[in-house]
Amino acid sequence: MARISDNAGPARKRSKGDGEDDMERVALAADWDDISTGLRKDLGHQLHSQWIKPIQVGDFDAATGTLALYLPSEFAAEWVRKHFADRLSLAWKIARSEIKTVAIEIHPSRKRMADISLGDSRRPANDGPDLRVVSDGGFGDPGFSSVGLDASLTFAAFVTGDANVLARNAAQRMAANDKPQFSPLYIKAATGQGKTHLLHAIGHQFLAAHPRARIFYCSAERFMIEFVQALKQNRMIEFKTRLRGFDLLLVDDLQFIIGKASAQEELLYTIDHLLSEGKRLVFAADRAPQALDSVEPRLLSRLSMGLVADIQPADLELRRSILESKLTRFAPLSVPDDVVDFLARTITRNVRELVGGLNKLIAYAQLTGQPVSLQLAEEQLTDILSANRRRITIDEIQRTVCQFYRIDRSEMSSKRRTRAVVRPRQVAMYLSKVLTPRSYPEIGRKFGGRDHSTVIHAVKLIEDLRTRDADMDGDVRSLLRQLES
């Protein structure tokens, strides 16, 4: 989801309060999440990742009905204007009727720096800012255009759990003052699980410890494109010299490093050169090095020689923690615990969708004045929820509960009323109501033809026991993790 930076554009001239500004930003972010998702489906992952994903939503001028969309370089802005302006304009007009025009521009802060060349020997010392972080800006432009690192993607903002603790700790080691024990660091994670967040966090922490360090962040696809442009423009010596002058190299979406063997060879030589000088390299991809397509064996060997750190899909506890951390931004807005639990249990595909769903729900509640509730979440997040729901059956629940409590499957339908059998049966009824769309009578029929009132009693009892009995709550949480994995 595109982030809206606090300094994304010129100051507003409207007389809104800070709270209303925040509400508008949240609403625009939620709308952009929907629009971007739709474009990804239409354009495919490669085009979307290259041209749509870098877009930042700027300010909306209510007087003219103009919404600003920012890109990191003039080249990117011109390309998006030429190929996607009509599509973006139509999508925003459908999303918000008050938007009449979409202005696709280079980010104001980037525009001021675009003509400043890194490492230009003709530039006097201490003349202007020292540009240390570059990203996706263009090797083909005069100098590198600087766009910096996303200020919100820091280690402090990264929520850690069992699923990502290895990658987070490895990333912190890479950014520390001491020489890293392993280099390169290779972070493997599915889409939306936090690998890009860690790349930016490494950059921030390394820069804090080494204020004059030179950092380069780009996608592998951008590396390939810029390599080809430098080749065509006969600027390969400049390309190589600048690329090998960085102290920290951060390359994202490495799964797209396909195509020209010469570009892969240049990356290979760059890795060897930086490692020989003790520089730091971090790569991120959605698959292991050995699973990358059309990559030369020598390059695969270099990518695997350091540490490959996985980020596993966020489990229920981590998803809940992430939501709770995000809620601090919306205080004093109240979001009930059952809504947080519902989102954490239901939106399981990736963290980006989880946070996007929360933003959309809160934006709707703020803009309509409705309280955040479970019913509102189910009504407004239909598309996200339906895409994430894995169909869990009552048979699957009964089988899992019986294995957990070590009882025979037939006890789910039996008439026995000993505690060792009744409690697991009640837990299975509770989970059937929580995890499936089945009604009380339908659930009762799957448990030996029991009356719906028996199911209602079981559900209420287990809900109550979870609040009073830590062991019961632990059992239910463990079963939820098994069934949702």
Query: Annotated binding site for ATP, which residues?
Result: 192, 194-196
β partners of residue 280: 248
Alpha-carbon distances of 364 from 252, 357, 358, 360, 371, rounded to whole Å: 33, 11, 10, 6, 10
Alpha-carbon distances of 484 from 164, 346, 414, rounded to whole Å: 18, 9, 27
Category of 234 on φ-ψ map: left (φ > 0), alpha (ψ -120 to 50) or beta? left
Question: Tokens in use for 234?
Answer: 């006969």
Residues making up the binding site: 192, 194-196
**Angle in degrees, 0-180, between the axes of helices 394-405 and 470-484, rounded to the nearest 10:** 130
Nearest to 183 by CA among 99, 50, 53, 280: 280
Cα separation of 154 and 166, whole Å? 16
Can you tell me whether residue 254 is helix, strand or coil?
Answer: helix
In the block, tokens 């802060």 appear at 109
Alpha-carbon distances of 107 from 52, 70, 71, 74, rounded to whole Å: 14, 5, 6, 9
Question: What amino acid is encoded at 280 in this protein?
Answer: R
Cα separation of 117 and 216, whole Å? 14
Question: Tokens in use for 470?
Answer: 């830590």
Q: In this structure, are residues 88 and 104 in contact, taking their beta carbons and an 8 Å threshold? A: yes
Radius of gyration, alpha carbons of the chain = 26
Q: Provide the 8-state DSSP code for 405.
A: H
For residues 154, 160, 165, 168, the Cα torsion angle rounded to the nearest 10 degrees is 0
Cα separation of 212 and 312, whole Å? 34
β partners of residue 185: 282, 307
Contacts of 255 (CB under 8 A, 6+ apart): 220, 285, 286, 287, 292, 293
> Dmax of the chain from CA atoms?
89
